[in-house]
């Protein structure tokens, strides 16, 4: 039996308690400073407030002040923070985890640099730790997986990526179940880029749903031609960006496009895309979805910013990214939705 410590009691981090505990491992769920009420609720009810199913019996719950106790003796630590907690996790949590304990992050995203590079979160964390004299590898999860469906034991296939295949196989042996299927890979940049790049494009596909609702009525039947057309353009642009990241392999493309699909149909990004398509601007859409975490908007803005830097240097052609740039205009300039169909041809 292994000991699995999960730091971050959001929906995805908490969902991973299910396969870990069902595999008879000790599971310790630690809340961030923002998760205090969640941990209190879990202690009282053995259920996450956003889930409709109890945690497996035996999961232990810890407030942030008890984090070091929860880390002690762990065989692996899962980082369950959102992209808004990246700095906190890197500065406050990672330095407190002994380097011999493998870390597995669920956080999807990229950070852009002034010269137009896109860095994965594991790379950013590694660089910051190195500045403090700490040398460690950080593993990550990528692939199409919504938390509530993992809790429901829907069949799910993901990739665990990291630098050491032996460590990845160890993590897989702890977490894999008959419904949670894991493919290990050492291509961290490729996997992490693939699952982050899909965020803005999922929003772009969802725009078409809102556009059609504005035209035909909110309760009108779905129009799949337009969704498929934008999906196709998304695939085209994502492939170009993955190639730019050096990760345009069949495996990474498969993971990225699968994640694009599930985000369109099962993610929060769908909600904001529909509202924008109906005619709301981004401020109005955020107000409508008060309380919903919209990590995808941050990633989309960073990717577009990096692409624009490289377009300005003549390294990329704006004509290759009409959808991404229009999405960026919607988010940054509050440009009305006008999907650039003619530029897709």
Is 70 exceeded by the pLDDT of residue 299?
yes
Average pLDDT over residues 185-204: 96
Catalytic residue among 96, 126, 198, 333: 198
What's the pLDDT tens digit per position in 228-261? Answer: 999 999 999 999 999 999 999 999 999 999 999 9
Q: How far apart are CA 85 and CA 107, in angstroms?
A: 9
Please state the rounded mean pLDDT for residues 315-344.
97
Q: Sorting pLDDT into bands at 50, 70 and 90, what band is 95?
A: very high
Answer whether residue 52 shows pLDDT above 70: yes
Tokens of 186: 């050492």
Distance CA 178, CA 95 (A): 34
Closest CA to 131 of 91, 78, 97, 77: 91
- Quick: pLDDT tens for 262-277: 999 877 889 999 999 9
Q: How many angstroms separate the CA atoms of 336 and 189, rounded?
A: 34
Any idea what the Cα angle at residue 147 is, between residues 187 and 326, rounded to 5°? 70
Q: Model pTM?
A: 0.94
Q: What is the pLDDT of residue 345?
A: 81
Q: Are 106 and 175 in contact (CB under 8 A)?
A: no
pLDDT higher than 90, residue 316: yes
Average pLDDT value for residue range 331-337: 96
Query: What is residue 291's predicted lDDT score, i.e. its pLDDT?
Result: 62
pLDDT value at 68 more than 70: yes
d(CA 183, CA 106): 15
- Give the whole-angstrom CA distance, residue 15 versus residue 56: 11
Reported as a single tens digit per residue, the pLDDT across 1-23 is 999 999 999 999 999 999 999 99
From residue 29, alpha-carbon distances to 21, 43, 86, 145, 180 in Å are 11, 10, 18, 20, 19
**Residue 198 is among the residues annotated as catalytic for this protein:** yes
Give pLDDT tens digits for 276-291. Answer: 999 999 999 999 988 6
Residue 335, helix vs strand vs coil: coil
Domain 196-343 top-level CATH class:
mainly alpha
Q: Tell me: pLDDT of 293 over 80.
A: no
Query: Which stretch of DSSP H or E encloses residue 208?
Result: helix 188-216
Distance between CA 51 and CA 255 in Å, rounded? 26
Best CA proximity match to 299, nearest among 266, 259, 343, 341: 259
pLDDT at 268: 82
Position with higher pLDDT, 301 vs 268? 301
Q: Which of 335, 100, 298 lies closest to 199 in space, CA to CA?
A: 298
Tokens of 257: 């496009």
Give the Cα separation of 184 and 266 in Å (integer): 24
**pLDDT per residue as tens digits for the range 134-189:** 999 899 999 999 999 999 999 999 999 999 999 999 999 999 999 999 999 999 99
Q: What are the structural domain ranges in the chain?
A: 3-186, 196-343
What gap in Å lies between CA 92 and CA 67, rounded to an integer? Answer: 11
Q: How far is CA 181 from CA 84, 155, 184, 189, 194, in A?
A: 27, 8, 10, 21, 18
Report the CATH fold assignment for 3-186: Rossmann fold (3.40.50)
């Amino acid at each position: 039996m292994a000991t699995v410590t999960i730091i971050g009691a959001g929906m995805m981090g908490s969902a991973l308690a299910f396969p870990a505990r069902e595999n008879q491992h000790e599971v310790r769920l630690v809340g961030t400073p923002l998760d205090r009420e969640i941990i209190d609720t879990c202690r009282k009810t053995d259920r996450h407030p956003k889930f409709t199913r109890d945690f497996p019996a035996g999961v232990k719950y810890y407030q942030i002040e008890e984090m070091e106790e929860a880390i002690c003796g762990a065989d692996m630590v899962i980082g369950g923070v959102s992209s808004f907690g990246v700095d906190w996790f890197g500065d406050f949590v990672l330095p407190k985890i002994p380097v011999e304990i493998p870390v597995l992050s669920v956080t999807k995203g990229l950070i852009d640099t002034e010269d137009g590079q896109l860095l994965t979160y594991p790379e950013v964390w590694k660089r910051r730790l190195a500045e403090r004299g700490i040398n460690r590898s950080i593993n990550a999860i990528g692939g199409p997986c919504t938390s509530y469906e993992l809790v429901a034991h829907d069949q799910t296939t993901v990739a665990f990526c990291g630098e050491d295949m032996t460590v990845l196989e160890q993590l897989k042996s702890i977490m894999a179940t008959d419904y949670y299927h894991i493919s290990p890979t050492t291509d961290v940049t490729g996997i992490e880029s693939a699952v982050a790049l899909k965020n803005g494009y999922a929003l772009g596909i969802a725009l078409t749903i809102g556009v059609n609702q504005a035209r035909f009525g909110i309760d009108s039947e779905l129009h799949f031609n337009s969704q498929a057309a934008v999906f196709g353009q998304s695939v085209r642009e994502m492939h170009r960006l993955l190639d730019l990241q050096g990760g345009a392999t069949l495996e990474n493309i498969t993971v990225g496009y699968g994640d694009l699909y599930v985000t369109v149909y099962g993610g929060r990004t769908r909600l904001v895309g529909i509202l924008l398509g109906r005619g709301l601007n981004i401020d109005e859409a955020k107000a409508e979805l008060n309380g919903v975490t919209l990590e995808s908007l941050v990633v989309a803005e960073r990717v577009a910013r990096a692409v624009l830097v490289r377009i300005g240097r003549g390294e990329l052609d704006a004509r290759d990214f009409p959808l991404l740039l229009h999405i960026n205009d919607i988010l940054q300039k509050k440009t009305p939705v006008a999907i650039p169909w003619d530029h897709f041809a």
